[in-house]
Amino acid sequence: MTKVAKGYDEQLAILIGRGLIVDDTHVAKEWLRHHNYYRLSAYRFPFTRLGHADRFLPDTHFEHLSELYLFDSKLRQLVFEGCGRIEISVRARWAYEFGTQLGPLEYLNNQHFKDPLQHAHTLSSLSNEINRSQEEFIKHHLRKLKEPWPPVWVVAEIASFGAVSKLLSNTQSPRIRQDIASTYGLDETTFCPLIHHFSVLRNMAAHHARIWNRGLTLTAKLPRKKPEGLWQNFHVDKKTTNTRRRKLYNSLVLLVHMSQQIDSNSCWPERLHSHLKTLDATLIPAMGFPDDWESRPIWKDLHTENEAEEQT
């Protein structure tokens, strides 16, 4: 390792030397103190010269970086909240369908799963969660009822989103998978990988990862025919590059759709739309948004609802 750790004054001097305008050095150093130079520097790229990531564009101020950072932070909170609602809903639907169609403890039976080895790994993870849990309802089943494994509607309350996603996609019964997927107007072949996608996206948001312009390694499988009308909201035209498809836009469309299926009166989609409008329009394409995104039905409807609320 040849690099040497830099103090806050040195870090600020590097940014200024690269052309960044710092109007208030005290505020800038406080940002560096609490947000980490390396973390904040990831937000510089929209404001640097093409091919020269260490040279800022003219008239670029420190506030440009900090405002984009704050936009991403709020976006991350909204994504985490949206994924959280989906997680709770899917856990509830999985527990109900599995419990009523197969039985309270049949999630332990590998005959109900396509891949027994994956099922065993998932049960091992669930066992660790049960043994670590300090929840009183878990203690009640383990100690008072002497049940090493609680019924499915109980285990669903401590199972991670990832574990439920794996149990759902690995379930042998197409009927169970489809009965759950139909709740959200989707086909199970699209729904199951989508839930896995959301579990990964939720973890990224939970661990404070930059998401606003990130290229997602695991993209969602987009529903083409079901539900009718959803397809036209996605950014999938022939001119869309693979890099752009891997950005956040299509995931946000699916989050809005799922949120509306869970609670048609939820204000979460409107809050997301309002927040997206706070971003400089020149930066929107970096999130994979099509140029006409606001005229597409799912966003246009939200815009109309927001206008109606403002008038009242």
Q: Calculate ∠ Cα 178-198-306, nearest 5°.
A: 95
Q: How far is CA 273 from CA 221, 265, 293, 294, in A?
A: 23, 15, 11, 9
Which H or E run contains 117? helix 116-132
Give residue 308's pLDDT: 54
Residues 251, 193: contact at Cβ < 8 Å? no
Give residue 129's pLDDT: 86
Q: Calculate ∠ Cα 217-221-225, nearest 5°.
A: 160
Give the distance from CA 199 to its chain's centroid.
Answer: 7
Residues 149, 108: contact at Cβ < 8 Å? yes
Residues 239, 292: contact at Cβ < 8 Å? no
- Whole-model pTM: value is 0.91
Q: Are strands 48-49 and 52-56 parallel, antiparallel or unpaired?
A: antiparallel
Give the span between the Cα atoms of 94 and 24, in whole angstroms: 53
Give residue 134's pLDDT: 79
Give residue 244's pLDDT: 61
Give the span between the Cα atoms of 135 and 156, in whole angstroms: 13
The model's pLDDT over 123-138, given as tens digits with 9 standing for 90+, comes to 999 998 888 887 888 8
Give residue 147's pLDDT: 74
Q: What tokens were used for 2?
A: 């040849």
Give residue 218's pLDDT: 86
Give the span between the Cα atoms of 113 and 90, in whole angstroms: 18
Give pLDDT tens digits along the chain (312 positions): 788 899 999 999 999 999 999 999 999 999 999 999 999 999 999 999 998 999 999 999 999 999 999 999 999 999 999 999 999 999 999 999 999 999 999 999 999 999 999 999 999 999 988 888 878 888 787 776 677 888 999 999 999 999 999 999 999 999 999 999 999 999 999 999 999 999 999 999 999 999 999 999 888 889 988 899 999 999 986 665 555 678 999 999 999 999 999 999 999 999 999 999 999 999 999 999 999 999 999 999 886 665 555 545
Count Cα atoms within 13 angstroms, Cβ side, for 257. Answer: 27
